[in-house]
Homo-oligomer: A and B are copies of this chain.
Amino acid sequence: MPPRMRSSRTVADIGEFGFLSRMLPRLATDSHTIVGPGQDCAVVSSGRRTLLTVDALVEGVHFEPAWLSPRQLGRKSFLVNASDIAAMGGRPRFCVVSVGIRPSYLTRDLSALQAGIVAAAAECGASVVGGNLTRADKLFVSITLLGDAPARLVTRQGAHPGDHIYVTGWLGDAALAVRLLRAGEVTGSGRFHPIRRFREPSARLHAGQSLVDAGIVSAMIDVSDGLIQDLGHICTESGVAATIDPQAIPVSSDYRAMQGPDRSLALTGGEDYELLCTVPERNVKRLRRLQSHLGCPITCVGRIEKGRGVRLAGDPSRVAKAAGFDHFLQR
């Protein structure tokens, strides 16, 4: 067999353990990692109360290979989890990674994927302490992230009638990006804001920590499945209703340029990884003082009420369908 170019080497050429032996030494861990990657288990020194979350990105479901570079995919796989930690006001600490790939996957792509995970973890103050690599027909990356819990816990259950509903950043960009990427309209258009956000999302960690530590929010969730759906979770678990004003929803200038006044993607599109929270009236002034320190805009989009379900301000008689991202219902 002729020697292969190093850059075209696949995982099938070097095997799981061949790859792991190259990759493991590159993982930086911190002083709280007692035993790092490469053993049956990692051993970590954790706080008394640990946050625990898991999320997966699957080829053909969450992305097509052409939409994200391997490094972007790695980075995003971490950040979708960091967003869950942000929604609880926590601090990411340790993660383990479960990856499924085809044997024909290039080792340089796997290295880039891994580097993206490690870089995103480091940006958020976390270490990659273990993982598992398996064969799979479609690429998947499932990451479990541990974080330090804040002193005061905020869940989806604390919203009360009269609370104001706030959302960080801008909504609808990721859904707009997926629509454009599916249509093949924007190949290479990395400067277009929605595409950039789809490829390189942020987790609102600092905002989440600040809002929880200051005791400002009564309930919080990250917007991963769409505003209506995720607000619906808060309503269901808090036993309340909500009315939102579609025109108040913050959108990017690119979104506005392409969609005009249409807010449907901002209402139902998933994967924006913004924070959605409820703020009691008595805390609104303190939120205003804090808002320039959150690292992102925060906008009031509606109000919590008595009752059930999510209503749109322009059409108060109708309960908005819990339309949002559900892998199984929307195909």
Contact = CB atoms under 8 A, between A and B. Distances in A.
A231 interface: no
Contact of A97 (B47, B50, B54, B131): B54
B11 A328 contact: yes
B54 A130 contact: yes
Contact of A132 (B41, B55, B94, B147): B55
Interface stretch (A12-20, A161-169, A286-294, A309-317): A12-20
Contacts of A146: 50, 52, 146
A94 B52 CA distance: 9
A48 B46 contact: yes
Interface string A220-235: 1110000001000000
Nearest to A17: B326
Interface in A47-69: 47-56, 58, 60-62
B130 A41 contact: no
B140 A140 contact: yes
A94 B46 CA distance: 14
A41 B103 CA distance: 33
A34 B135 contact: no
Nearest to A14: B328
Contacts of A84: 40-41
A114 to B, nearest CB: 14
A158 B40 CA distance: 14
Interface string A83-95: 0110110100010
Contact of A155 (B39, B149, B229): B39
Contacts of A8: none
Interface in A1-34: 11-12, 14-17, 34
Interface of A: 11-12, 14-17, 34-35, 38-56, 58, 60-62, 84-85, 87-88, 90, 94, 96-98, 100, 103, 129-138, 140, 142, 144, 146-147, 149, 153, 155-156, 220-222, 229, 237, 322, 326-329, 331
Closest 9 CB pairs of A and B: A144-B144, A135-B327, A40-B87, A41-B51, A40-B84, A15-B329, A98-B142, A41-B53, A54-B96
